[in-house]
Structure 1
Amino acid sequence: MNTVTRPRILVVGAGFAGVECVRRLERKLSPDEADVTLVTPFAYQLYLPLLPQVASGVLTPQSIAVSLRRSKKYRTRIIPGGAIGVDLKSKVCVIRTITDKIVNEPYDYIVLAPGSVTRTFDIPGLTDHAFGMKTLAEAAYIRDHVISQLDLADASQDPAERAARLQFVVVGGGYAGTETAACLQRLTHAAVKRYPRIDPGLIKWHLIDIAPKLMPELGDKLGRSAQEILRRRGIEISLGVSIEKAGPEEVTFTDGRVIPTRTLIWTAGVVASPLMATLGAETVRGRLAVTAEMCLPGHDGVFALGDAAAVPDLAKGEESAVCPPTAQHAMRQGKHVADNVIATLRNRPMQPYTHKDLGLVVDLGGKDAVSKPLGVELRGLPAQAVARGYHWSALRTNVAKTRVMTNWLLNAVAGDDFVRTGFQARKPAKLKDFEYTDMYLTPEQVRAHVEGTARQD
């Protein structure tokens, strides 16, 4: 008796790109046309742009963690874990599950959307003493940590310790760093009213970046507006400056300043997931080099997109231009690559990806924001309305939209209770403890593992 096996489509990553791809595959493919599998440690899509608002307590963690199992059409099999290697020749993806079991997952078509990880440099003490802002756990942890510094400073009898605990350093003048510094400064500014023994003048926030401008993508005028807003709030901005070394109780800047602090938040950019290096294929600054159709040249059935792929930006008309690693591109690429996978399944021609950037929004908390939708520069309340309206509309489910809107309204009316939820254990967790970047295999290890398990079978 002949058994007909359905094509196996494996999607790696549940970010904007991966989730949009899976949703479109579910809608457009009949159940007997293909089997769809998704590899992700968590069965939710994280709405990353609102992470600073979780850290500052404006939003609850659950409100930006959008469940993947809510859709009535949901039929995708989820493997709870992370891909740590891909053998293109054998068409096998090596996965480490959340219980640390290593399994091989064969595929006919693979969509690589593992996203990015925090970019770090060889700075002494950085990974041991800095916090990241890339995951939901990190955002919740940082909120606990910041509030605990206020609690400890309020209780301390040592003026030097009190001053150190009330200094906070954020490295990275991009969107993540700027919004993180802005939102957390508002948190401490509002919280200090509940701490009568703390001098508000002791609370100091530092935002530093090696670049000469803050958020250069916004342009000179809006970039200066954002700087003015932050400086008016008392945030000290240092450009052309980075970290020379980090310790448990102080940070040394490259300009020689030594800042006593217990809080170093590192948001100085991202790099493509280390998974891309396991393929042994060509990369562009760590991102997998793909065609405009988001295919890997020379390998049938291999697609890559989002932060981990250097997708040509045809809308710019420049030969070397690649799409920036933004949610806006990732969501559209996810839908487009799903259409190309379906086209391949049905022996139809694939289409190149092209999308003109719609603009940028930066929420600085409260009534402060700067936005540039379709090239129009906005500040203040109009910019805030555009920023929050864009984020709200981009949330995937009505439940998530309701939670976020309710959180915004409740925070605006009632404020914050500054409660620590207990994420901060006695042993502190830092940058190296959240992203597990040391778990990936080399291309040689991937091939050896796949060949070894094949012999055992």
Structure 2
Amino acid sequence: MGLFAALRLSKKLSAREAEVIVVDPQPHMTYQPFLPEASAGNISPRHAVVPLRRELRRCTIISGEVTRIDHANKKVLVETISGPAREVEYDHILVAPGSVSRTLPIPGLREQGIGFKTIGEAIYLRNHFLDRLDVAATTTDPETKRRALTFCFVGGGYAGIEALAEMEDMVRSALKYYPEIKQDEVRFVLVEATQRILPEIGPDMGAYAARQLRRRGIDMRLGTFLESCVDGNVKLSDGETFITDTVVWTAGVKPSPMLANTDLPLGPRGHVNCLPTLQVADGETVVEGAWAAGDCAQVPDLTGGVGAWCSPSAQHAVRQAVVVADNIARVIHGREPKTYRHKYLGSVAGLGLYKGAAKVYGVKVPGFPAWLMHRFYHVSQIPSFNRKVRVVADWTLAFLLKREVVALGQLHAPREEFTEVTPPLEPKPATVEAPKAEAAAVKA
């Protein structure tokens, strides 16, 4: 979201009017809707991210993490990736750090679980899943094989269902290269605390998606909580227990914890409190020079009635980026900001290759047409013509040549092999110095 806003601001304001500074610890923006496809091998992981320095050539990029915002003095403290921390002064600040995985104090989750919000997590999961197939194909121990072929996903929202569906599709496709493994030996388990999945596409299409996943043999545990996963021993609230090497946590998000280190007014759930103009507000009082948008902001939804808030979705974030950039430029030019108003058009969800579910403008769309809508929509939204072309090229090659099913597990420990072949440095033996002759004065 920050990239969209910075790109538009750099076009709205000349270099003489303003300097646009972007602070981010990563050198790229991740287009999160493409993470499931990147993880499943439909597109290259590099094409699911947009490099900041290539797209924001008219902006100043600082590679670092904001650790404190002192808006009273209009300064931010940035912990750079190298060297001492530095203070950056500003006239206007747009707070858009996004969200992080919302986790719970469940025994074993910290040690066994992995999220699905970054490109690193997507690459790791792809390598991990394929590595588990290799383990299952070579082991002679039934319990080790059962553990390797059991995959548990927690959370039935967009991230969880799309990741689960894509990974199940990838594993099913890969099994033709593993004659040692039968399809009925693979187990995918979905754990969801509510009684429905994909609430964004409505109850009917959510039920349709659940039926499609069950037909593929996925074990759906609705109205169920994860109670423990210590050492991979999963215990569910319905009494079910099983052992697994894979626990993927996608049970919601929360605002970035960085917001706690600011003097900006926060809402009850830790979001930055905003007006419909996307200006930060303390109650109804505007905090001059402070703006927020995206997952970290609590923005009133003017199309949803009294008390409605914009959902933390890519659809809202992309459109809020345009409005907030325009409003900052309007204020700098001495004009009044406009309010953000966007009626939610609907949602599309991918359920694997050629499968999907959607509800757009109130129309329910199942199967292949929904999958096409899902792809067309997201390729139109990812920034830069460069990335659009590369993603379409990846899809075309995957259609013609089938998806890649090779694991690159060495990415996660690149120095291990070099370290093993490099002999340790033997300590040098201590040298014994000859005792110095003591001089004695003899008086005759």
Secondary structure of the structure 2 residue equivalent to 1:366: coil
Contact 1:229 1:368 survives alignment (8 Å): no
Amino acid paired to 1:95: V
How many angstroms apart in 2 are the aligned matches of 1:423 and 1:276? 32
**Moved >6 Å (runs of 4+):** none
Residue of structure 2 in register with 1:245 after alignment: 228
CA–CA separation in structure 2 for the residues paired with 1:24 and 1:282: 26
Q: Do residues 301 (structure 1) and 285 (structure 2) align?
A: no
2:37 equivalent in structure 1: 53
The alignment partner of 1:349 has SS state of coil
Does the Cα contact within 8 Å between 2:166 and 2:352 map onto a contact in 1?
A: yes
**Any idea what SS the aligned residue of 2:20 has?**
strand
> What are the Cα deviations for residues 127-153 of structure 1, in whole angstroms up to 9, with x where unaligned?
221011000000001101111111111
**1-structure distance, mates of 2:36, 2:288:** 40
Deviation readout 1:394-423 (Å, 9 max, x if unpaired): 122222111111111222222233211223
C-alpha distance in 1 between matches for 2:324 and 2:200: 27
Q: Pick from 341, 363, 382: which aligns with 1:376?
A: 363
| 259 and 334 in structure 1: CA distance in 2 versus 1, 3 angstrom threshold | same
Task: Pick one of 27, 30, 54 that aligns with 1:70.
Answer: 54
Cα RMSD, aligned residues only? 1.7
**CA separation of 1:283 and 1:153: change in aligned 2, threshold 3 A:** same
Structure 1 residue 406 corresponds to structure 2 residue 393: yes
- Structure 2 residue aligned with 1:146: 129
Moved more, 161-170 or 73-82: 73-82
Equivalent residues of 2:41, 2:404 under 8 A apart: no
Answer with 40-49 or 165-174: which moved more: 40-49
Alignment of 1:292-441 (within 5 A): 292-297=276-281, 298-318=286-306, 320-421=307-408, 422-425=410-413
Structure 1 or 2, whichever has the larger Rg, is 2
* 1:100 Cα deviation from its structure 2 partner: 7.0
Query: How far apart, in 1, do the equivalents of 2:343 and 2:243 lie?
Result: 45
Q: C-alpha displacement at 1:267, in angstroms? A: 0.3
Q: In 1, Cα distance between the equivalents of 2:245 and 2:230?
A: 9
Q: Is the 8 A contact 2:345 2:361 kept in 1?
A: yes
Instruction: Determine the structure 1 residue equivalent to 2:178.
Output: 195
Q: Is the 8 A contact 2:154 2:191 kept in 1?
A: yes
Distance across 1 between alignment mates of 2:189 and 2:82: 39
Structure 1, residues 316-355: CA drift from partner, whole Å, max 9, x if none?
122x111101111111111111111112212211111111
SS across alignment from 1:347: coil
Indicate the SS of the match to 1:230. Answer: helix
Q: Aligned in 2, Cα 1:60/1:175: closer, same or farther, shift over 3 Å?
A: same
Separation (CA, whole Å) in 2 of partners of 1:412 and 1:424: 29
Percent identical: 37
CA deviations on 1:252-286 (whole Å, 9 max, x unpaired) are 11222111100000000000111222224232411
Corresponding position of 2:119: 136
* 1:58 Cα offset (Å): 1.1
Shift of 1:81: 1.5
Unaligned runs of at least 5 residues, structure 2: 416-444
Hey, what's the Cα distance between the residues in 2 that align with 1:29 and 1:310?
Answer: 27
1:144–1:424: 8 Å Cα contact kept in structure 2? no
- Separation in structure 2 between the aligned mates of residue 120 and residue 273 of structure 1, nearest angstrom: 13
Deviation at 1:43, TM superposition (A): 2.7
SS of 2:54's equivalent? coil
CA distance in 1, matches of 2:124, 2:7: 31
Q: In structure 2, how many angstroms separate the alpha carbons of the residues matched to 1:228 and 1:275?
A: 40
Counterpart check, 1:20 vs 2:4 = yes
- Which of these residues, 235, 242, 248, is aligned with residue 265 of structure 1? 248
Cα contact 2:202–2:359 (8 A) shared by 1: no
Q: CA shift at 1:364, angstroms? A: 0.9
Deviation at 1:240, TM superposition (A): 0.7
TM-score normalised over the length of structure 2: 0.89
SS in 2 for 1:314: coil
Q: Does 1:182 align with 2:170?
A: no
Distance 1:258 1:101 in 2: 49
CA shift, 1:313, in A, is 0.5
Preserved CA contact (<8 Å) 1:284 1:310: no
Tell me whether 257-266 or 79-88 shows the greater mean CA deviation: 79-88
**TM-score where L is the length of structure 1:** 0.87
2:216 maps to 233
